[in-house]
Amino acid sequence: MTDAVASPVVGRKRSKRARPKPDFWAWSGIIVVIIGLFLGLFGPLLAPYGVGEIVSEGNYELPGPDFLLGTDVLGRDILSRLLYGAQLTVGIALAATIVGFVLGMVVGFSAAEIGGYYDDFITWLIDAFLSFPPILLALIVIASLSSDITVLIGTIAFLHASRVARVGRAVAMNIAALEFVEVARARGEKLMSILVREIFPSTIRPLAVEFGLRLTYSILFLSSLSFLGLGIQPPDADWGSMVRENQNGLLNGAYLSVLVPAFSIAILTVGVNLIVDWLGAQSGRGISEELTK
């Protein structure tokens, strides 16, 4: 019994020492994400004008000393709205991902550990939710309630939870069958203690990959809702709504009014995916190490 308890600890220490460092592309993604988080926190403080402030009598002005990225369809400073939009885009996406991830992990881990009828019910519930198109569920919820920030976070988090629960359950099923988890059960540890102290540490790497994927999905899904007019409402701005408001700028030669927010969405999602790709390359090794302890 002593060997059964000690071996996971030794295995974890050994895998920690052998953990490879991020490569060039992973570091590139990390830098992009850090910049995105920085703008999400301090973007409004860096903005030269207010988010809805009309600073020019003419619309779609070209970039110049006063307006570094030009103005939009209503004569508002694009740079200022981009910085304000970073706060909402990154903030809502990150909050929705965290809420949905925590909820999904609790549901998936508990289903794997409890098993029986509870596991069957959770599996059926997850399959039922996954059978509906996400955009359709979001449209129903937002149309029934509103498109304020709380509803957007809750809607995206709810869509995440079922998918995270399925992944969490699959990963936890493998870990729950290992000896050190059996020893914890034999010691009489409570369910939450087993989930937090035994199962969760062994699933960090594969779930980190899933978290990155969910964060990318949050950014794109929020931007899609805003582009359809169901996300952030004027005078507030996020990057998706900026693309929608200024799409006619492409016909008027004001390309930056559309390309800048669209490029911001693209570069942030690519940055997250570069990190996810690196984590994914390590997660298979991490899972195999856990299963051989």
pLDDT at position 46 is 93
Q: Which whole number is the average pLDDT over 132-159?
A: 89
pLDDT digits (tens, 9 = 90+) for 86-145: 999 999 999 999 999 999 988 988 888 788 888 899 999 998 888 888 888 888 888 888
CA distance linking residue 95 with residue 58, whole number of Å: 37
Residues constituting the chain: 293
What dihedral angle (degrees, nearest 10) is formed by the CA atoms of 253, 259, 261, 267?
-170
70: in domain: yes
pLDDT band, residue 284 (cuts 50/70/90): low
DSSP per-residue codes, 58-97: SSSPPP-SS-TT-B-TTSBBHHHHHHHHHHHHHHHHHHHH
pLDDT at position 18 is 54
Domain limits at 244?
Answer: 25-56+66-291
| Residue where the block lists tokens 């919820």 | 141
Q: Which whole number is the average pLDDT over 204-229?
A: 90
CA angle 168, 174, 178 (to 5 degrees): 130
pLDDT at position 186 is 76
218: in domain: yes
3-state SS assignment for residue 234: coil
Six-digit token pair at 204?
A: 């960090």
The total domain count for the chain is 1
Six-digit token pair at 43?
A: 């973007």
pLDDT digits (tens, 9 = 90+) for 3-30: 444 444 444 444 445 567 788 888 999 9
10: in domain: no
2: in domain: no
What dihedral angle (degrees, nearest 10) is formed by the CA atoms of 132, 137, 139, 141?
160
pLDDT at position 91 is 94
Q: The CATH number of the domain where 148 resides is what?
A: 1.10.3720.10
pLDDT digits (tens, 9 = 90+) for 164-183: 999 888 888 877 777 777 77
pLDDT at position 287 is 46
Beta bridge partners of 71: 77
| Lowest-confidence pick of 30-34, 59-63, 120-124 | 59-63
Alpha helices by DSSP H, the chain: 2-17, 24-46, 78-114, 116-130, 134-144, 149-176, 179-186, 191-193, 204-227, 239-245, 256-291
